[in-house]
A and B are shown apart, each in its own frame.
Chain A
Amino acid sequence: MNPSRCFIRYLTLPAMFLLMLSSLPAAQAGDLIEKGKTIAREGNGLPGSTACMECHRFHGGGMPSIASPRIAGQPQKYIEHEILGVKAGTRFAPVMAGVVNNLSRSDIRAVAAWYASVRTPKLRDVSPYDPKLVALGKRIALKGEWKKNVPACVLCHGPEGRGIPPHFPYIKGQNKGYLLQQLMSFAFLKRADDPQGLMRGIARRLSLQERKAVAEYFASLTPPPADGQPDTSPSGKETR
């Protein structure tokens, strides 16, 4: 036998093992999250870059006072899709458009991975929830307004609005300013990144009062730990 061949064979096994190790998804995901964490805290280092945490907080709790959404635990794929939408102009977001403009494709993947991985408690909303609106919102959320061809929100946003990964975000426990703003944006402004225009149609068919009500109802709930995860709190389960 050729000794050099033997040597190569001797080398290839560990080399292959190392290769396999480096392609392990967990290791990669860890790096990605680390990178995302840095961008969330400091921006991506380019001149004029803004850190995501300025509006979404470091752990993704959002900022109810300016209707900036909580994003902690939303699906990575969804966050990525939304940032790309803002960048491309298909998702109406005048403030964020300037911020994400200099994020590269891999920056976007990284911040999405970071915010998908973090957990954070609910922040106090801007004002108490109006029980009348909450009751109307609950009805629309759990039963729908089929006369106007509006299915129950929970059919696509999951039980209680906890989300159905990866395309359908959680909406329970989101701040009310953001929820209402998005419904208005779907209905009248230029948020056009929803698949098949599903939300645009639904939001347009709701009245202003109904949009407010749905926003109040979902905002009044506790957020899930992450998209699609059931609430562990005793009051968490709202059955239809």
Chain B
Amino acid sequence: MRHFLPLALVCLLGSLLPMAPIAAAQEPPSPVVFTPRPDSEIPAGPFGDLVRKGEKIFTQTGKYAGKYVGNDLTCESCHLDRGRKPYAAPLWGAYVSYPRFRTKNMKVSRLGERIQGCFRFSMNGVAPPLAGDTIRSIVAYSFWMSKGAPVGTPLVGTGMYHMPPTSHKPDPFNGKKVYKARCALCHGADGLGASSGGDVAFPPVWGPRSYNAGAGLAKVGKLAGFIKMNMPLSKGDTLSDRDAWDVAAYVDSQPRPADPRKKS
């Protein structure tokens, strides 16, 4: 393997040569590590109020945007650390990545439209109106959090982690074993999560109160990437790639609400 490396490098350089003058003029884009400002810096006044409202909706979605939510999840169930954690689709990465073309609906979406999709699929609810308070607050919260982030430049940890392609077919049977050992403690052997005094404590990962079949995480690769980097909470990146694939295949093989686009 080792003696291929110089050869590969030479080939790579060779292929870059025609572009060399341009490359020298503009540095190759190195990924930027971005850290959002602490929330103590959210300003006073109407704008700050909107941002704070966005955060409330974000962490307690059922309470502050209940009429658009059809399950037991909150925005923070997936966007960890109140939308700040790298590789858990952080808001600072999202804000500077829109508008963008999405193959999901073959359209160029604005951030607000993308958030509508979260409500419709991941929250198994209905899309809040674009001009309404819910979307406006979440967009304001995202804008504030991305203050200082370069627009349209790749940032480390934007979106979800893309799993390297796997040669093995994700195996839900091994996934079930991994799930029982590493996930069931919080999400329950039945996948229905756990509550504490009537409040949802651990989110359900399948069943009628979880994300529907049209959600991003209903795709095994996406879910595997999320699990790989974030689960179990505080022990991200401890599952092997293979186990992450398998446990994602297991979770996504379980029953959940139908994709609303296919219902009628």
Q: Which residues does A use to contact B, with CB under 8 Å?
A: 143-144, 146, 149-151, 155-156, 158-159, 162-165, 167, 195-198, 201-202, 224, 228-230, 239-240
Q: Which residues does B use to contact A, with CB under 8 Å?
A: 59-60, 80-82, 84-85, 182, 185-186, 194-199, 201-202, 232-236
Partner of A164, one of B196, B234, B235: B196
User: Closest approach, in angstroms, between the C-beta of A164 and any C-beta of chain B?
Assistant: 5
Given known A146-B84, A164-B196, contact A195–B185 (CB-CB < 8 A):
yes
Partner of A228, one of B59, B80, B197: B197
In the complex, what residues of A have CB within 8 A of residue B84's CB?
A: 146
Given known A146-B84, A146-B85, contact A240–B235 (CB-CB < 8 A):
no
| Nearest 7 pairs of A and B residues by beta carbon | A158-B196, A230-B197, A146-B81, A228-B196, A164-B196, A164-B201, A151-B233
In the complex, what residues of B have CB within 8 A of residue A198's CB?
A: 232-235
In the complex, what residues of A have CB within 8 A of residue B81's CB?
A: 143-144, 146, 151
Q: Is the CB of A196 within 8 A of B201?
A: no
In the complex, what residues of A have CB within 8 A of residue B198's CB?
A: 230
* Interchain Cβ contacts under 8 Å between A and B, 14 examples: A143-B82, A150-B234, A151-B80, A158-B197, A158-B201, A159-B197, A165-B196, A167-B185, A196-B235, A197-B235, A198-B235, A229-B197, A230-B197, A240-B60
In the complex, what residues of B have CB within 8 A of residue A163's CB?
A: 196
Q: Is the CB of A156 within 8 A of B233?
A: yes
In the complex, what residues of B have CB within 8 A of residue A164's CB?
A: 194-196, 201-202
Q: How far is the CA of A195 from the CA of B182 in the complex (A)?
A: 9
Partner of A151, one of B201, B202, B234: B234
Q: Is the CB of B233 within 8 A of A162?
A: no
Q: How far is the CA of A151 from the CA of B202 in the complex (A)?
A: 13
Question: Residue of A at shortest CB range from B202?
Answer: A164
In the complex, what residues of B have CB within 8 A of residue A167's CB?
A: 185
Question: Residue of A at shortest CB range from B197?
Answer: A230
Q: How far is the CA of A144 from the CA of B202 in the complex (A)?
A: 16
Given known A144-B81, A146-B84, A196-B185, contact A202–B196 (CB-CB < 8 A):
no
User: Closest approach, in angstroms, between the C-beta of A162 and any C-beta of chain B?
Assistant: 6
Q: Is the CB of A159 within 8 A of B59?
A: no
User: Closest approach, in angstroms, between the C-beta of A81 and any C-beta of chain B?
Assistant: 12
Partner of B201, one of A159, A195, A202, A224: A159
Number of interchain pairs (Cβ within 8 Å): 59
User: Closest approach, in angstroms, between the C-beta of A205 and any C-beta of chain B?
Assistant: 8
Question: Residue of B at shortest CB range from A230?
Answer: B197
User: Closest approach, in angstroms, between the C-beta of B80 and any C-beta of chain A?
Assistant: 8
In the complex, what residues of B have CB within 8 A of residue A201's CB?
A: 234-235
Q: How far is the CA of A198 from the CA of B235 in the complex (A)?
A: 7
Q: How far is the CA of A106 from the CA of B31 in the complex (A)?
A: 59
Q: How far is the CA of A230 from the CA of B197 in the complex (A)?
A: 5
Given known A143-B82, A162-B197, A228-B197, contact A202–B60 (CB-CB < 8 A):
no
Question: Residue of A at shortest CB range from B198?
Answer: A230
In the complex, what residues of B have CB within 8 A of residue A149's CB?
A: 234, 236
Q: How far is the CA of A158 from the CA of B194 in the complex (A)?
A: 10
Q: How far is the CA of A144 from the CA of B236 in the complex (A)?
A: 15
Question: Residue of A at shortest CB range from B86?
Answer: A146
In the complex, what residues of A have CB within 8 A of residue B186's CB?
A: 156
In the complex, what residues of B have CB within 8 A of residue A150's CB?
A: 234
Given contacts A164-B194, A201-B235, 5 further A-B contacts (CB under 8 A): A149-B236, A151-B80, A196-B185, A198-B235, A240-B60
Q: Is the CB of B197 within 8 A of A240?
A: no
Given known A159-B196, A196-B185, contact A239–B60 (CB-CB < 8 A):
yes
Q: How far is the CA of A204 from the CA of B60 in the complex (A)?
A: 29
Q: Is the CB of A240 within 8 A of B233?
A: no
Q: How far is the CA of A126 from the CA of B198 in the complex (A)?
A: 33
In the complex, what residues of B have CB within 8 A of residue A144's CB?
A: 81
In the complex, what residues of A have CB within 8 A of residue B194's CB?
A: 164
User: Closest approach, in angstroms, between the C-beta of B65 and any C-beta of chain A?
Assistant: 15
Q: How far is the CA of A201 from the CA of B60 in the complex (A)?
A: 27
Q: How far is the CA of A150 from the CA of B80 in the complex (A)?
A: 12
Question: Residue of A at shortest CB range from B88?
Answer: A146
Q: How far is the CA of A92 from the CA of B151 in the complex (A)?
A: 51
In the complex, what residues of B have CB within 8 A of residue A146's CB?
A: 80-81, 84-85
Q: Is the CB of A240 within 8 A of B185?
A: no
User: Closest approach, in angstroms, between the C-beta of B221 and any C-beta of chain A?
Assistant: 24
In the complex, what residues of A have CB within 8 A of residue B60's CB?
A: 239-240
